[in-house]
Amino acid sequence: MLGSILDGIILGCMITLGGLGISYVLLLQNYFNFTGGTFFTLGAYMALAFLGFIPMGSFPLVTFGPGLILALLLSMVSMALIMTAVDKLLYRPLRERGSPFMFFYLTAFGMLFVFRSIIYLTWGAQLKNYVSGIPTYMRFAGMSITWDEIFVVIATIVIVAILYYFQYHTKLGKGMLATANNSELAEMSGIKNRDINTLTTIIAGILTATGGVFYGLTIQLRPMMGFTLLMAMFFAVVTGGEGAILGTFGAGLIIGITQEFGSSLLQMLWDATGVPIQMGGYKATLSFLLLVVILIFQPEGIFQGTPLEK
């Protein structure tokens, strides 16, 4: 029971990373990136492809070795490149033509299926793993957690901290926020909108790839892994507030725990009251139901405020 809270925290870390990728696109370019979940999957599979050439090596305690770190870095680079290329080829013309919102969404929706089919074509439908080793568990207070999972949690916290520092304490990060707030004013004060857009897309690519690799490391690689998390990522973005790093992290953890712990809690409730509902099939929809509730009562998100006010 308590173990599912830990599972939720680990899932929440990946949701946060994927959600931040979507959040940055939303912040600067004003559309919800439906392709975000599929890029997440692609990032994970990219690392798998690189691992075909890189010897894994080994680290103490965890199942993976330095090879995976290198593959992760390469996957970050390739996702940044892919997402920038997509942005420049498809979205920039729309932006500069001043096309209606609809076109951004339709394009993102189309890209979702394009990349999904590419993933299926390249890697097939079967489940895959980076490593076949048996992870070492750490047990305390009746719960067990693998060292891989501990690595994921710590790495996520480090990444969020670096991102936070970058966004609020460097010139480039502040320029990014200024552009999001008022792009014309920012342009006048010498910040190039195009550069900022590219930078944002690159950051989004890095975060998305990391989230995907972490998911592949702790759970499994499967072609629909990102799409099933898409609703949870949207939850983190909407609830956390666009571009608000800590808000997204908090919301990501909340939704991760809700999915894992909340569904087993509800299952106990249904079993006790005799309602014949099996929660297993509804785990992924739980995040969405929570999202709808929040959208109805708090359409601006929970952790409100424009990111500049911090």
Partner 1 sequence: MDAYIAALLCMGAAYSVFTIGYNLQWGYTGLFNLSVFGLAAAGGYTSVILTTSAAGGHIGGFGLPYIVGILAGAVMAGIIGAAIGTITLRLEFGFFAIATLGLGKFLIAIFKNEKGLTNGVWGIGGIPKPLSDVAGGYANWAYGGISVAILIVVFLLAQKLVNSPWGRLQLAIKDDEHLTQMLGKNVWRYRMESLVLGSMLMGLGGAMYAHYQGYINPKSYTDIMWAFLPLLMVVAGGSGNNKGSILGAFVVWGAWSVSEIFAGYLPIASMKIPHIRTLVVGLLIISILRWRPQGLIGRKRAVSSSTGE
Task: Decide: is 90 part of the binding site for partner 1 (CB under 8 A).
Answer: yes
Task: Decide: is 93 part of the binding site for partner 1 (CB under 8 A).
Answer: yes
Task: Decide: is 102 part of the binding site for partner 1 (CB under 8 A).
Answer: yes
| Nearest distance in Å: CB 305, partner 1 | 18
CB 36 within 8 A of CB 233: yes
What is the sign of the dihedral through the CA atoms of 206, 208, 212 and 215?
positive
Query: For the chain, how big is the Rg over CA atoms in Å?
Result: 20
Strands 143-146 and 137-140 come out as antiparallel
Task: Decide: is 296 part of the binding site for partner 1 (CB under 8 A).
Answer: yes
Least Cα distance to 118 among 48, 22, 223, 216 occurs for 223
| Nearest distance in Å: CB 285, partner 1 | 5
| Nearest distance in Å: CB 161, partner 1 | 28
Among the residue ranges 57-65, 116-124, 189-197, 247-255, the one whose residues contact partner 1 (CB under 8 A): 116-124
Task: State which of residues 59, 105, 164, 270 lies at the interface with partner 1 (CB under 8 A).
Answer: 105
What is the sign of the dihedral through the CA atoms of 224, 226, 232 and 234?
negative
- Give φ, ψ of 221 to 5 degrees: -95, 125
| Nearest distance in Å: CB 214, partner 1 | 23
Round to whole Å and give the CA distance between 246 and 250: 6
> Which residues contact partner 1 by CB under 8 A?
26, 31-32, 34, 90, 93, 97-103, 105-107, 109-111, 113-114, 116-118, 120-121, 124-125, 231, 234, 238, 276-278, 281-282, 284-285, 288-289, 291-292, 295-296, 299
